Amino acid sequence: MKPYNKNLKQASRDLRNNMTEAEKLLWARLRGKQILGLQFYRQKPILNYVVDFYCPAANLVIECDGGQHFTDEGLEADRIRDQRLTELGLTVLRFDNGQVLGEIDDVVERINQSCLKESP
């Protein structure tokens, strides 16, 4: 079980109710155990972060990044976040919103390949 911050429960719920178009599209391909029969969760609190998607069986976090992630501050915050999540034994996959919206099959294939490496 990964560290869960109960103080992020409402923020997580709000994010689930206000997903971006890229997140909605990717969620449609992850939900219902469509990838290797694995369960994914959306907007899951881990440590002091709310990750976009999380698959515990594959120790996988998936992030859909909008423009704010590509500023100097955003890149540094993501670097720190990814390092902390990696220290928990998680693999972090990042896709920008354009990739998800324009190349969804390629994104899903990368997720599939990552799950094959990580799942028991």
Distance between alpha carbon 47 and the CA centroid of its chain, in Å?
Answer: 14
Distance between alpha carbon 14 and the CA centroid of its chain, in Å?
Answer: 16
Amino acid at 4: Y
C-beta of residue 87 within 8 angstroms of C-beta of residue 56 = no
**pTM beyond 0.75, yes or no:** yes
pLDDT by residue (tens digit) across 25-79? 999 999 999 999 999 999 998 888 889 999 999 999 999 987 565 567 777 888 9
Q: How far apart (Å, rounded) are the C-alpha atoms in residues 100 and 25?
A: 7
Look at residue 68 in the predicted model and tell me its pLDDT: 62
Average pLDDT in the chain = 86
Look at residue 3 in the predicted model and tell me its pLDDT: 66
Q: How far apart (Å, rounded) are the C-alpha atoms in residues 24 and 2?
A: 24
Look at residue 66 in the predicted model and tell me its pLDDT: 76
1 pLDDT above the threshold of 70? no
Look at residue 74 in the predicted model and tell me its pLDDT: 73
Name the β-bridge partners of 55.
60
| CA separation, residue 116 to residues 37, 49, 74 (Å) | 11, 25, 30
Look at residue 54 in the predicted model and tell me its pLDDT: 94
Q: How far apart (Å, rounded) are the C-alpha atoms in residues 22 and 12?
A: 17
In terms of Cα–Cα distance, which of 38, 32, 67, 72 is closest to 54?
A: 38
pLDDT by residue (tens digit) across 69-105? 556 777 788 899 999 999 999 999 999 999 999 999 9
Q: Catalogue the E-assigned strands of 37-111.
A: 41-46, 49-55, 60-65, 91-96
